[in-house]
Amino acid sequence: MAEVIRGLRPEWYVLQIVPTQERVAAAHLVGRRFGIFLPELEEHRLVRGRRRRVLLPMFPGYVFVFAWLGPRNYHRIKSCPGVWDFLCVEQRPAVISDAALNAIRAVENKQRPLVVSQEAIGTFKKARRGWRRRTRITEQHIYDSEIIAVHTWSALRDGLRQGVDSDKRTQLLLSALGVA
């Protein structure tokens, strides 16, 4: 299990994943109580002659993990099935900033807005035994433009909003981390 290490600051790290094993690795990391972030994009594809909604990783081959990276946690993460290695910058695991992760979350949330169900109070209706209040469930969509935040300019955010393909998204991520 993941452990909290005093004196170390938890960070978001970038993991390189075995091809097409992003969900497997994420499931095992969650099982070991690590925080993960696997951003996904929605695509519509033809599957057996029908148009289906498919969720694909935004950055194929990469998963973000939140951990206190001591030696024990390092080996716990690397030993998870599907995890290849940490993405390294100058022989150290790459750390992604909260601002970059927030930009990725904003792009993901823009495509798939948060849906909050609310009870809307309807009219009172005469029932067989007295008055009864009639309620109905409605859905409210919360879009990125309705969430107020202040961000500095980011090439990663601008590139992701342009709707580029997975190779270009991965190049943007690596350049934001200083790897490419």
Distance CA 25, CA 34 (A): 11
**The predicted structure's pLDDT at residue 168:** 84
**The predicted structure's pLDDT at residue 116:** 60
**The predicted structure's pLDDT at residue 148:** 46
Burial of 63 (0-12, 13-18, 19+ CB in 10 A): buried
- Residue 111, classed as helix, strand or coil, is helix
**The predicted structure's pLDDT at residue 150:** 46
- The pLDDT profile of the chain, 180 residues, written as one tens digit per residue, is 778 888 999 999 999 999 999 999 999 999 999 999 999 988 888 988 999 988 899 999 999 999 999 999 999 999 999 999 999 999 999 999 998 898 888 888 777 666 665 555 455 555 566 655 555 556 666 555 544 444 455 666 677 777 778 888 888 888 888 776
**The predicted structure's pLDDT at residue 71:** 93
C-alpha distances (whole Å) from 47 to each of 54, 60, 126 are 10, 20, 49
Burial of 165 (0-12, 13-18, 19+ CB in 10 A): exposed
C-alpha distances (whole Å) from 21 to each of 2, 165, 172 are 21, 19, 21
- Residue 13, classed as helix, strand or coil, is strand
Enumerate domains of the chain plus CATH numbers. 11-112+149-177 (3.30.70.940)
**Whole-structure pTM over 0.85, yes or no?**
no
**The predicted structure's pLDDT at residue 74:** 95
Q: Give the strand pairing for 35-37 and 83-86.
A: unpaired
